[in-house]
Amino acid sequence: MEDFVVELKNNINKNLKNNDRKSSCFRGLLYHIIKSSSEIKITEEYSSDGDLKFEVSLKSLGVSYDTLVKYKKEFYSDFVVNFVGELLIRENINKFAKILVGLDPHDYPLVVDQYEHKKFGMALFKQDKVIFTFHISLIQTILTEDLKKTT
């Protein structure tokens, strides 16, 4: 363990200026995404195991092809995928809530409660659409957050 810590310390560049820090790459990418007004399209209501898919165009996300090339590593990171996926769901929660409410009460325990959302899947389709996959339990979690805070 001690060798690992020494090796890790030796790999950290301590002479970075603020503009050179890796976090600025994430900030640059997220700046484009956050300033956009994204329009999503739900492509699959839900699978038998509760996975949902929705898509958004790169243009709607505020990401040009040049921006994607510049921030490719950050764009495909778990951090960005999960952040953007959840941001898009929260901004479009009414669309997703309709799916949750529309579930057959007999299917609800099997589709929603049997699994738990862990992280988003994301794929780029035909270089202009981004497809996100997530578990429907995330919608339930978002909708019940306020209840959890008060109990």
- Tens digit of each residue's pLDDT (9 = 90 or more) over 119-134: 999 998 887 899 999 9
Does residue 124 sit within a domain?
yes
List pLDDT tens digits, range 60-111: 999 998 999 999 999 999 999 999 999 999 999 999 999 988 888 888 888 7
Rounded CA Rg of the chain: 19
pLDDT grade, residue 9 (50/70/90)? low
Does residue 109 sit within a domain?
yes
Does residue 101 sit within a domain?
yes
Does residue 130 sit within a domain?
yes
SS3 state at 54: strand
Does residue 16 sit within a domain?
no
Does residue 126 sit within a domain?
yes
Among the residue ranges 2-6, 31-35, 71-75, the one predicted with the least confidence is: 2-6
Contact 56, 142 (CB under 8 A): no
Contact 58, 128 (CB under 8 A): yes
> What per-residue confidence (pLDDT) applies to 47?
79
Does residue 64 sit within a domain?
yes
Does residue 25 sit within a domain?
no
| DSSP for residue 135 | E
Please name which of 87, 106, 109 lies closest in space to residue 96, comparing C-alpha atoms: 87
Burial of 52 (C-beta count, 10 Å sphere; 0-12/13-18/19+): buried
What number is the average pLDDT over the span 3-21?
A: 51
Structural tokens at position 11: 């790999």
Q: How many folded domains does the chain comprise? A: 1
Residue with tokens 């339930």: 140
Task: Please give the residue range of the domain that contains residue 44.
Answer: 37-150
